[in-house]
């Protein structure tokens, strides 16, 4: 059994990795229930199996089994966590809510889960984990406005909760409220300044904002420039970040179209009062575009070949990057 795999959170793993983790549930539980019982009394009292890794493994197995539909194993892991930490433990409450959501077979059962969340929050409004689950459930049943309200209440009480800010940003993006989403992601970066994925996410939202048809030319140039800088920061923090290079490529493509369309480009300078930076020069954008293209090509080539150190990219990511490069090649040939 791979101990390393058992200690990896399955929430962001690939389906293959999650399935492999869930398949280890049966032997793991068998080992937990047999080796101690084989010891005679009172020797079994002298053995302390308590460890952080043990309960991390239980939680990871619970999440993996839920994702793969093995509700029996998920229930077994959850019962063990409940027996150890108690039914009133906040994390256990959240996991029970997640289990009930996953096993609900109709809308009525989901409504019952919502009522249980409301009851917990009436007794203790500071159970932030349950408030997050409530917001997630509202989002999943098509009530984004109520989910936004829940997250705003949470952030009023806990303004440094980066996870809540990120989720609120996603809800705003889904509603087309890009300015609010940008604000939320900036709050995330105040807490996690070196999170390269959040810099890239902010770049994506800025790019979407610049793509709005009603955006003025000057505002579009400013927003695209900031988007490019965010993608640059993401790949500066993580040199092999495919999503960052992908965003840098499409943003510089759009910037080149915008800058080349200006008949008389004016030399702009940064504003020391507002802190706004000047738009990048055409030469700088071209160099960044070439860099992004070359890096994407290298990632696709070496990642597809499965070279050591280049095997962490998903097939979907590599396929998307390959398609982007192919479109660029077709454009040049025309």
- Three-class DSSP labels, 252-277: HHHHHHHHHCCCCCCCCCCCCCCCCC
In this structure, are 185 and 210 located in the same domain? no
Cα maximum dimension of the chain: 89
* Average pLDDT value for residue range 39-44: 57
Q: Are 256 and 285 in contact (CB under 8 A)?
A: yes
| Domain identity same for 180 and 204 | no
Tokens of 199: 């810099």
Give residue 277's pLDDT band: very low, low, confident or very high (50, 70, 90).
confident
Looking at per-residue pLDDT, the higher value among 299 and 50 belongs to: 299
| Three-class secondary structure of residue 94 per DSSP | helix
Q: How far apart are CA 261 and CA 218, in angstroms?
A: 12
| 149 domain-assigned | yes
pLDDT digits (tens, 9 = 90+) for 83-130: 888 999 999 999 999 999 999 989 999 999 999 999 999 999 889 999
Together in a domain, 120 and 143: yes
pLDDT score recorded for residue 278: 78
Residues 188 and 202 in one domain: no
Residue 273 has a pLDDT of 42
Residue 211 domain-assigned (yes or no): yes
Q: What pLDDT sits at residue 274?
A: 45
pLDDT for the residue 19: 86
Q: Are residues 145 and 163 in the same domain?
A: yes
Ramachandran class of 69: left when φ > 0, alpha when ψ lies in -120 to 50, beta otherwise = left
The pTM of this model reads 0.84
Q: What is the structure's pLDDT at 271?
A: 55
Tens-place pLDDT, residues 43-75 = 555 565 667 788 888 999 999 999 999 999 999
CATH of the domain at 175: 1.25.40.10
Choose one of 168, 193, 218: the last residue of a domain.
Answer: 193
Statement to judge: residues 216 and 297 lie in one domain: yes
* pLDDT value of residue 49: 65
Tell me the DSSP string of 163-174.
Answer: HHHHHHHHHHHH
Range of 74's domain?
18-25+54-88
Average pLDDT, integer, range 171-180: 95
The whole-number pLDDT of residue 215 equals 64
Clarify whether residues 218 and 295 are in a common domain. yes
pLDDT at residue 7, as a whole number: 59
> Do 234 and 295 sit in the same domain of this protein?
yes
Residues 174 and 212 in one domain: no
Q: CA–CA distance from 54 to each of 60, 82, 244, 314 (Å)?
A: 10, 14, 36, 29
User: Per the structure, how many domains does the chain have?
Assistant: 3
The per-residue pLDDT for 24 is 87
pLDDT of 5: 55
- Cα–Cα distance between 21 and 280 in angstroms, integer? 47
CA atoms within 13 A on the CB side of 158: 15
User: Counting every residue, how long is the chain?
Assistant: 334
200 and 236 co-located in one domain: yes
- Domain check: are 123 and 186 in the same one? yes
Whether 106 maps to a domain, the answer reads no
Q: Does residue 267 sit within a domain? A: no
pLDDT at 211: 86
In a domain, 33, yes or no: no
Which pLDDT score is estimated for 99?
A: 95
Q: Based on the fold, state whether residues 296 and 213 are members of the same structural domain.
A: yes
Cβ partners under 8 Å of residue 155, min gap 6: 161, 164, 165, 168
Q: Are 212 and 228 in contact (CB under 8 A)?
A: no
pLDDT digits (tens, 9 = 90+) for 12-39: 667 788 888 888 888 888 877 655 555 5
Give domain status of residue 132, yes or no. yes
63 phi/psi in degrees, rounded to 5: -65, -40
311 within some domain: no
pLDDT of residue 40: 61
User: In this prediction, what percent of the chain has a pLDDT beyond 70?
Assistant: 84
187-217 pLDDT, tens digit per residue, is: 999 999 999 999 999 999 999 999 886 667 7
1 pLDDT tier (thresholds 50, 70, 90): very low
Nearest to 166 by CA among 192, 131, 140: 192
How much is the average pLDDT of 235-244? 96
Flag whether 331 is in a domain. no
């Amino acid at each position: 059994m791979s101990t390393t795999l058992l200690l990896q959170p399955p929430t962001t793993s690939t389906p293959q990795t999650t399935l492999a983790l869930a398949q280890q549930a049966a032997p793991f539980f068998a080992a937990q229930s047999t080796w101690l019982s084989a010891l005679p009394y009172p020797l079994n009292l002298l053995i302390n199996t308590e460890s952080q890794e043990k309960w991390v493994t239980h939680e990871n197995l619970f999440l993996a089994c839920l994702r793969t539909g093995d509700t029996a194993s998920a229930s077994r892991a959850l019962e063990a966590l409940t027996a150890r930490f108690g039914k009133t433990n906040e994390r256990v409450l959240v996991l029970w809510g997640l289990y009930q959501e996953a096993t609900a077979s109709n809308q009525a059962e989901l409504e019952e889960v919502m009522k249980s969340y409301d009851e917990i929050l009436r007794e203790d409004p500071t159970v932030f984990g349950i408030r997050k689950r409530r917001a997630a459930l509202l989002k999943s049943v098509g009530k984004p406005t109520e989910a936004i309200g829940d997250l705003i209440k949470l952030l009023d009480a806990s303004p440094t909760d980066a996870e809540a800010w990120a989720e609120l940003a996603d809800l705003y993006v889904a509603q087309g409220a890009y300015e609010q989403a940008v604000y939320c992601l900036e709050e995330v970066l105040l807490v996690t300044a070196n999170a390269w994925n959040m810099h890239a996410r902010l770049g994506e939202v800025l790019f979407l904002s610049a793509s709005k048809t009603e955006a003025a030319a000057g505002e579009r140039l400013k927003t695209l420039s900031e988007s490019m800088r965010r993608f640059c920061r993401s790949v500066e923090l993580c040199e092999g970040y495919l999503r960052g290079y992908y965003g840098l490529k499409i943003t510089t493509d759009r910037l080149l179209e915008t800058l080349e369309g200006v008949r008389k480009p004016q030399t702009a300078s940064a504003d020391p009062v507002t802190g706004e930076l000047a738009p990048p020069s055409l030469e700088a954008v071209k160099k960044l575009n070439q860099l992004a293209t070359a890096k994407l090509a290298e990632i696709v080539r070496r990642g597809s070949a499965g070279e050591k150190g280049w095997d962490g990219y998903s097939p979907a990511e590599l396929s998307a990057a390959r398609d982007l490069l192919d479109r660029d090649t077709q454009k040049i040939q025309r």
